[in-house]
Amino acid sequence: MKIKETDIAIVGAGAAGLTAAIEARRAGAQVLVLDENRLPGGQLFKQIHKFFGSHEHRAGTRGFQIGRDLLKEVEQSGAEVWLNTVVYGMEPDTSLGVIHEDQNTVIKAKKVIVATGAKENYMAFPGSTLPGVMGAGAAQTMINVNRVLPGERIVMVGSGNVGLIVSYQLMQAGAEVLAIVEGAPFIGGYGVHAGKIRRAGVPILVSHTVTRAIGTEQVEAVEIAEVDSKFRPIPGTEQVLEADTVCLAVGLNPMTELLWLTGCKFTFIPAFGGHVPMHDAHMETTVPGLYVAGDVTGVEEASSAMEEGRLAGISAAESLGLIPREEAKERRGEVIRRLNVLRSGAFGEGRRRSKEQQLKAMEAFQAEGDRT
Amino acid sequence: MRIIEHPILETLDTSRTVTIYYNDRPVEALEGEPVAAALMNAGIKAFRTTAKRKEPRGIFCAIGRCTDCKMTVDGVPNVRTCMCPVKEGMRVYHQDGNGTFEKKDRT
């Protein structure tokens, strides 16, 4: 077994992990980024739509372009990036077990930043395990990264931004989207995305759900039905669509497995996708030297993840004595100001409240520790 | 089906291919792509059957988390085909249940 030492190890080379690496390198830390995939960038290269937000968050630029620029910056920064590297475990002292180039290696880092992102939620209905039922993100990966169409006639479940955007991207890739079904009585995502879908002639059926996928070896048809105010299918409203694929866009949840292994403390915030690690304004968890950033701290979106990565990178470098306290504080303040812009407005406000709740949980935990 | 032309992304480069074998049948794949993408392009959707109920399973998450796409690759069972890049001459077999290290899984 090999042992590798470094100043800061970062798990995940996505939006948050890469900005954390850039900030930590800028401060002069030795940085090692670990990722299971063959290419860095996380989910950014699947985002072929234009980003939202303010000018300083590069609104109007497509996600994959932001990803390319980020990769260039990481390359120039001199951070070491290990791809095709599985991080299979973490000890309470934050040492990491990894498989790199077929070799079991232990990474001993002074500080660890976990930026593992999120995974898609599942939804159970008769036939939901059939090949042809998949996550909307899975379909997005197939069309935009692997450039393979997962099916030709799609039913999308969920009208949040993921459901709307992936539907549009499936059409750009040449598929037909038969319908978007939404259990709630209203569309979940931005009006501008919903408008594009409707102008393309795709019905968005609110107060509707998938009741079953029909087929033996794979999806051959999909039954949908209207639901009442308690989300129960209304008998007699069933209709069968000749679809070969069902995409589920029913939310995401943070990939916290590594964090649980360390014994760090969690708090439960449904709007963030469930159990999320407690962390302070420096992104440090209840385990000293263990930081978190991006969707693993609660599901938001790529721009927020990139900002949180900067917070974690600055703070980890500061704790190593590489950035003076005042300077670190000032730079964090700048990032937090930009984060507050992202966490405002009709869609961002809920995320701001969730983040406050998470920070308060950490404060309460620390106060309790001080008393005992 | 392969997406060659795309309104936003560059035209797909299909010049470099390798041949893999699915249940001993040749399947053309693009260099470096995951096994699951090559199979999906060839119209193959059911990758394995479950151990107890013998139900078919295929791609669900495509990012290495759900393990629904696992197959027997070059004699090794339970390989996540959405994460495993193709190699020239690779032997991929439909996996029955938990799989074994011998090539008994062909159906």
Domain residues of chain B, as ranges?
Answer: 17-96
d(CA B57, nearest CA chain A) in Å: 5
- Regarding whether A311 and A220 lie in a shared domain, the answer is no
Which residues of chain A neighbour B107 with C-beta distances below 8 Å?
Answer: none
d(CA A36, nearest CA chain B) in Å: 8
The residue of chain B with its CA nearest to that of A46 is B9
CATH number of this structure's domain B17-96: 3.10.20.440
- Regarding whether A296 and A351 lie in a shared domain, the answer is yes
**Tokens for A157?**
């479940």
**Tokens for A201?**
């002639």
Which of A56-60, A354-358, B33-37, B101-105 is the least confident region?
A: B101-105
Is residue A245 left, alpha or beta, with left meaning phi > 0 and alpha meaning psi from -120 to 50? beta
- Regarding whether A192 and A229 lie in a shared domain, the answer is yes
d(CA B11, nearest CA chain A) in Å: 10
The residue of chain B with its CA nearest to that of A151 is B1
Q: A196: domain range?
A: 122-248
Tell me the residues of A at the B interface, defined by beta carbons under 8 Å apart.
36-38, 48, 62, 64, 119-120, 122, 129-135, 137-139, 141-144, 146-150, 152, 172-174, 216-218, 255
Interface of B with A in 65-94 (CB under 8 A): 65-66, 82-83, 85
- Regarding whether A201 and A307 lie in a shared domain, the answer is no
Give the pLDDT of residue A347: 81
Kindly list the distances between the CA atom of residue B94 and the CA atoms of A132, A138, A334, B45, B100, in Å, as whole numbers in the listed order: 17, 21, 53, 11, 12
Which residues of chain B neighbour A138 with C-beta distances below 8 Å?
Answer: 59-63
d(CA A221, nearest CA chain B) in Å: 15
**Tokens for A40?**
């860095």
Shortest CB distance from A48 goes to which of B9, B58, B85? Answer: B9
Inform me whether the C-beta atom of residue B8 falls under 8 Å from chain A C-beta atoms. yes
B62 with A135: Cβ contact below 8 A = yes
Which residues of chain A neighbour B9 with C-beta distances below 8 Å?
Answer: 48, 64, 144, 147
A147 with B12: Cβ contact below 8 A = yes
- Regarding whether A221 and A297 lie in a shared domain, the answer is no
Shortest CB distance from B3 goes to which of A38, A120, A149? Answer: A149
Of the three residues A248, A277, A312, the one that is the final residue of a domain is A248
Interface of B with A in 34-53 (CB under 8 A): 34, 36-37, 40-41, 45-47
Shortest CB distance from A146 goes to which of B37, B56, B58? Answer: B37
SS3 A133: strand
- Regarding whether A126 and A227 lie in a shared domain, the answer is yes
Does residue A295 contact residue A254 with C-beta atoms inside 8 Å? yes
Of the three residues A248, A272, A299, the one that is the final residue of a domain is A248
Provide the CATH number for the domain around residue A73. Answer: 3.50.50.60
Which residues of chain B neighbour A36 with C-beta distances below 8 Å?
Answer: 64, 83
d(CA B18, nearest CA chain A) in Å: 15
- Regarding whether A170 and A142 lie in a shared domain, the answer is yes
A218 with B83: Cβ contact below 8 A = no
Does residue A288 contact residue A263 with C-beta atoms inside 8 Å? no
Number of domains into which chain A is organized: 2
Choose among B19, B99, B87, B12: nearest CA to A143. B12
This model of the complex carries an ipTM of: 0.94
Beta strands in B36-75, from DSSP E residues, in sequence order: 48-49, 56-57, 70-73
Give the pLDDT of residue A353: 96
pLDDT in tens, B58-77: 999 999 999 999 999 999 99
Give the pLDDT of residue B107: 52
Longest dimension (CA), chain B: 45
B45 with A37: Cβ contact below 8 A = no
Shortest CB distance from A138 goes to which of B8, B55, B60? Answer: B60
The residue of chain A with its CA nearest to that of B62 is A138
Kindly list the distances between the CA atom of residue B20 and the CA atoms of A131, A237, B14, B96, in Å, as whole numbers in the listed order: 21, 46, 16, 20
Of the three residues A248, A270, A300, the one that is the final residue of a domain is A248
Kindly list the distances between the CA atom of residue A369 and the CA atoms of A1, A265, A280, A286, B28, in Å, as whole numbers in the listed order: 37, 12, 14, 10, 60
**Tokens for A11?**
């798990």
Choose among B84, B68, B12, B36: nearest CA to A128. B68
Indicate the average pLDDT of chain B: 94
- Regarding whether A115 and A126 lie in a shared domain, the answer is no
Render each residue's pLDDT in chain A as its tens digit; 372 residues. Answer: 899 999 999 999 999 999 999 999 999 999 999 999 988 999 988 988 888 777 777 788 888 888 889 999 999 999 999 999 999 999 999 999 999 999 999 999 999 999 999 999 999 999 999 999 999 999 999 999 999 999 999 999 999 999 999 999 999 999 999 999 999 999 999 999 999 999 999 999 999 999 999 999 999 999 999 999 999 999 999 999 999 999 999 999 999 999 999 999 999 999 999 999 999 999 999 999 999 999 999 999 999 999 999 999 999 999 999 999 999 999 999 999 999 999 998 888 999 999 999 999 999 999 988 776
